[in-house]
Each structure stands twice: as structure tokens, then as C-alpha cells.
Amino acid sequence: MLTKAAETSELLPGGMKAVTLGGRELVLCNWEGAFYAVERACGHANARLERGALTGWILTCPLHYAQFDIRSGEALSGPAPKAPDSKHPDPADPALATRSLRTYPVKVENGVVYVDLP
């Protein structure tokens, strides 16, 4: 079901906006005029992703710097580890676990961003 999420003018290129649609908290992202919708909570520690940084299509969490691909939701890197006890943190460490984000299809029509909610 397509649900109105925002006006395109509300999201400049490189911008993000948190919205709640159908009880779901999402972040809308504008990458070079293409719009994307991902779940709002980081796949590591549930931080609010719109408070992070959008660099191209990479969304970086503001809390521990995990990174995600807004096009697919894929977790590209886990959080930055605490001050290392060694130079090479163990990627199997549960504290570094990060799941990918859920993404939602987006349609733009007449200056309006719609998100397709299941």
C-alpha cells in the first residue's frame, strides 16, 4: 500500500528525514535526487539513523559508526570497536554484531514521496 511520506522539497540531496508510517519508524534518504526508505533503528544498537551521516548511498550510524547501504539495507560494516586491546578486533565478537536494515520501496510522483508498506 503506497503511503504519502513527504514532499520531495523536504529532503535536499544528501538529506534525511524520520517519518512514522503505519506504525513503522523509517528514515527517508535523498541520494542525488533518488529517494530511499530504510528502517529508523540501527541494526546494532537501535540508534536513530537520521542523526547520522549520509555520504552518497552510505548511511553511518551516529552512535557507533556502523554503516549501511540505503539501496539494499545491507550492513557494510559493524560498529567501531571500543579502544582496542589488540590491533585486530575479533569480527565474531557479539558486541560488534550488526544486522542489515529493512528497506521499503519508494515511488515519487508530482513532488511527493510515497513508501510502499506491506
- Residue 68, all three cell numbers: 549501511
Average pLDDT of the residues of the chain: 89
Measured between alpha carbons, how far is residue 82 from residues 5, 6, 41, 63, 67 in Å? 37, 37, 21, 12, 16
| CA-based torsion, 60, 61, 64, 67: positive or negative | negative
User: pLDDT tens digits, residue range 52-107?
Assistant: 999 999 999 998 899 999 999 999 987 875 555 556 555 566 566 788 999 999 99
**Three-class DSSP category at 63:** coil
Phi/psi of residue 22, each to 5°?
A: 55, 35
**Three-class DSSP category at 102:** coil
Between 92 and 37, the more confident residue is 37
Instruction: Assign a CATH topology to domain 2-116.
Output: Rieske Iron-sulfur Protein (2.102.10)
Q: Is the pLDDT of residue 24 over 90?
A: yes
Q: How confident is the model at residue 60, as a pLDDT?
A: 95
Q: The pTM is what?
A: 0.86
